Chain A
């Protein structure tokens, strides 16, 4: 038969049994849309996390005190060997492949100034900080190495702090009191948005590291981490090796002793951060897989129920001179047309749902092309198999046996 006639026969046959066709296509539509949307939600969450990690800064390497788990057992905080200024200086002077290094001295407390007071995080950092974190100033200037050494009482405000303390005026040049210690504001930061943990990056005050260490933290001064920026992405392993030997030497570790610090680069960070969202993706995908299977069973049901009627139809066609191959091609075409249109509508529907999620809810959905292919292929395979299989059986019958089929 000619392709045109085959298509005509198939579409006529689909139109003749509208309800059956609709139900079959519906199974595929729902199956495809469910899979694509579910996986898109998981992927959307993962993408968000990845973007947040990328926003941490370029080629970032973070050194934290304490060993990483050793043989599955965390050594616990008792063995923390705190970082010292000396560690930071050694890295600064000895490491060769780095763009910059900064300690992060954590503090926090009440800040008074401008229109009121505000609780916020205070971080003591080096002048390299902005470059390491790919951050930039909105106004004013950043402190210098001299400010660090002189323990100058200057600070730079994050966007949230500006919004809360200086909603109407430029804070640069103003005095604020951080835990009663007066500081002069010399600059403000551009907004950065949410961190991977869901807190605001902008609720922060930056001050010279030694100022924070000596004047705000007092006895509890703690360098929470040392952050380093490698000169390029491919140098990261070399930098890590370099940092490790510098730190070991600085901490006077004998070869038999293990590292009392942990070095992580961005890929390590993103791994831990995406682990949760990956679990979410897997969970959603399995729910979606179930709905695809259920949709497939629906298709199978409808197809099998119509087998009696269709077997008679096959008998009639055979008796007027159709070859088994004509029948097979017709049924295959029907199944493909149904599955294809169901798949297209399903994908269209999932794009619509993803659009609604992205624009009208907090949930983000990201549709990967592979998922479309997988869902489409799977639903199509189910539709084609169950549409085609009964026809294959019936077309092998004698015309008279197909006509008699009950």
Chain B
């Protein structure tokens, strides 16, 4: 089909720790279309991060194939792999992974430096745009230690956005954030999704998964449930509600 973005065929990842084989992923077959907003859920150790890392081309599967945009990534040379990370994917980590002692602006510029196609000429302008999109235009010269967790995660999101990827992967993006800040981040995700960017995120909380359009549930390295959400939560409205509750409780 034309608008399939992701297709995995028997995707398997086995870690070998000493004498023991850890089967983190066992023959995962999923298909995700362009424009989807998917939440991946499951117990701790069920293989969510492992799957995300493979989808993000940060790691190589033990066996199976991963088609991104119709290209079988498992057969690509290292440098092409790097190009895919740079061009097609924006990855948001739970732990932010920003360069320390480096300003927000420079952190966001980072992916542009490795853009071999040089499709973006003015790095600084592009990075500023991305920071504006996440609402951090007034913090561009702050270094990570001068930013709150939510702000750091928004810098990370700006970095993921800056190269205009078609896919954003977020592994527990709000795992370190309080609920108001989390909803703010999901609000951003929803907006980006409306602009046509495909989003896959991992979350532990069913409340947050409701912001997505589809939930994939995992257990022991397998997909056990795949549901489309009919009445999805609007983060904009939820934000107003959560903020009101927070004020009352104070």
Contact = CB atoms under 8 A, between A and B. Distances in A.
Interface string B198-224: 000000000000000000000000000
Contact of B101 (A17, A320, A325): A17
B101 A16 contact: yes
Contacts of B113: 1, 5, 9, 322
A309 B97 CA distance: 12
Interface in B113-168: 113-115, 159, 163
B180 interface: no
Interface stretch (B18-26, B66-74, B81-89, B234-242): B81-89
16 contacts: A1-B113, A1-B114, A17-B101, A313-B99, A316-B98, A317-B110, A318-B85, A320-B114, A321-B85, A321-B86, A321-B87, A322-B82, A323-B78, A323-B82, A324-B78, A400-B59
Interface residues of A, number: 26
A312 B102 CA distance: 14
Nearest to A323: B82
Contacts of A17: 101
Contacts of A403: 58, 93, 97
A321 B102 contact: no
A15 to B, nearest CB: 9
Given A398-B60, A403-B97, A319 B114 contact: no
A406 to B, nearest CB: 13
Contacts of A318: 58, 82, 85
Interface in A348-406: 398-401, 403
A12 B111 CA distance: 16
A321 B91 CA distance: 11
A320 B110 contact: yes
A404 to B, nearest CB: 10
B22 to A, nearest CB: 15
B245 interface: no
Contact of A315 (B60, B79, B97): B97
A12 B114 contact: no
A12 B87 contact: no
A117 B83 CA distance: 95
Given A399-B85, A400-B58, A400-B59, A321 B101 contact: no
A260 interface: no
B78 A319 contact: no
Contacts of A325: 79
A399 B114 contact: no
B110 A399 contact: no
A319 B95 CA distance: 14
B106 interface: yes
B86 A320 contact: yes
Interface in A299-323: 309, 312-313, 315-323
B53 interface: yes
